Structure 1
Amino acid sequence: MIKYEIPETLKEHENIIKRTFRYSNEIIFKCEETKPWESKLGGCPYLKNIEEYPVDEEGEPMLFLAQINLSDLEKLDDLPQKGLLQFFVVNDDMFGLESPIVVKYIEDYEENEAQLIKENPYEDNEGYKQSLPFSNNGKMYFETREMPISSSLELFETLFKDELSEEEYEKLSRDCYSCNSRVGGYPYFVQHDCLGFDDEDFLLLQLDIDDECGIMFGDSGNCVFSIPKDALKNKDFSKVIYDWQCC
């Protein structure tokens, strides 16, 4: 696990910084083939039949961004301990930013490839492939990390602006630059915290710039899927909020 070490210049504020600590599972992408139930970027989601594939309000297939096998994750007690999470957005030139999203939770799944669809039924469609915010599908690997609150959140300023000197505040802001792809922990907003992410929210998924699979939303951007913790406790994934921002 990656531990966060508080800089010596901020040791006198150790207690208030430590109170913000969360665990995240940092994602490492590899351009590898995946089984239907594995954690993945793009490719084919876990599907028993084509009718299960989400479509938008016009009946058009949505973009499959990612699937998380929850058994791969560690130290994220707010999440269910098993099952699959799948993330779909509308296929348009804004990566579905202003349209309803679908986050599917599949609590029970089988590991029998003979009973499952092995290829994304829409991936050979040029209109589908060109709309994806990544150039290669990939398998996800995870590394647990201890992290302080992201300096891109409004809550960061609320907590520290009046507690730290200007120099200390700038130092902690640089230290808490929370980019990279992850599940759990805190999100990074390229422009501003339009979600008002706080203690009652959980980061379901952040997809950030990645060279291995060519991930990029717009011009050097990323995406965030957030859910209120009370909705997560009830496994109500209709409450997920999606946003992406770029430079």
Structure 2
Amino acid sequence: MIKYEIPELLKEHVNLIKGTFRYSNEICFKREETKPWDSKLGGCPYLKNIEDYPTDQAGEPMLFLAQINLTELENLDELPEKGLLQFYVANDDMFGLEEPILVKYIEDYEENEEHLVKKHPYENEEYQENLPFLHSGKMYFTTREMPMSSSLDLFQEIFMNKLSEVEYEKLSDDCYSSDSRIGGYPYFVQNDYIGFDDGDFLLLQLDIDDECGIMFGDSGNCVFTIPKDALKIRDFSKVVYDWQCC
């Protein structure tokens, strides 16, 4: 597990900082073949019938961004213990930012490839043009215990008036929470338009990655968040999607 070691400069505020700790599963991508039920970036989602592939309001196939096999995650008690989460956005040059998204939860799945779709039914050149990555790949996870992201409005509310200017600057630098992850805290390139707080959960963050060529716009990333009360009842219609770039 990756842990944040509180530096000597901030030892006086150890309880305040630790009070914001959350677990996350940091994502490493490898350009490897995947099974239909694996955690993956792009490629072919778990799909029993081509007719089940999601379409947007105009009837066009959506972009499949990622799939998470929940059994592969650790220390994220808010999530279901099993099943698959799939992330889809509208296929346009804005990565579906202003259109409805779909986060699909598949509680039960089978591990028999003979009964499943093996190749993405719509992945042609036109489809690939709007993907925010160059290569699909398999996901690997490392558990991390992380303090609150300094890009959140809530970070300023909690720490600004309790730390000296030097202490605040140090903690802000340490809590630069980029990289791809599930759980923990998101990193916003520009502003926390979502207003992420204690009542929210980070379902997925996709950040810049060289292995699979992930990039949203100009050095940007995307986040999918959900209120914890909606997550508790598995209401993924309440997911909020945002991506920002420099």
> TM-score band (shorter)?
over 0.9
1:71 aligns with: 71
- Measured after TM superposition, the shift of residue 126 of structure 1 is 1.3
Question: Which residue does the alignment assign to 2:135?
Answer: 136
1:211 Cα deviation after fit: 0.1
> Which residue does 2:221 correspond to in 1?
222
Give the 3-state SS of the residue equivalent to 1:169 in structure 2. helix
1:24 aligns with 2:10: no
The answer to whether 1:114 aligns with 2:109 is no
- Which residue of the partner structure matches residue 152 of structure 1? 151
**For the residues of structure 2 that align with 1:79 and 1:215, how far apart are their CA atoms?**
25
Residue 190 (structure 1) aligns with: 189
Shift of residue 127, structure 1, vs aligned partner:
1.2
Q: Aligned-residue CA RMSD in angstroms?
A: 0.3
In structure 1, the partner of 2:46 is 46
Tell me, which stretches of 5 or more residues in structure 1 are unaligned?
none
Shift of 1:182: 0.1
Q: Secondary structure at the match of 1:215?
A: coil
Q: Give the CA deviation at 1:3.
A: 1.1
Question: Could you tell me which amino acid in structure 2 is paired with residue 155 of structure 1?
Answer: L
**What is residue 236 of structure 1 aligned with on the other side?**
235
TM-superposed CA distance for 1:137, in Å, is: 0.3
Taking the aligned partners of 1:52 and 1:163, their CA distance within structure 2 comes to 52
Query: 2:91: which partner in 1?
Result: 91
Q: TM-score, normalised by structure 1?
A: 0.99
Distance 2:183 2:215 in 1: 20
The C-alpha deviation readout for 1:39-98, integer Å capped at 9, x for no partner, is 000000000001111000000000000000000000000000000000000000100000
Deviation of the 1:214 alpha carbon: 0.1
Q: For 1:245 and 1:67, how far apart are their aligned partners in 2?
A: 21
With the length of structure 2 as denominator, give the TM-score of the two structures: 1.00
Matched residue, 1:180: 179
- Unmatched segments (≥5 aa) in structure 2: none
Paired position in structure 2 for 1:210:
209
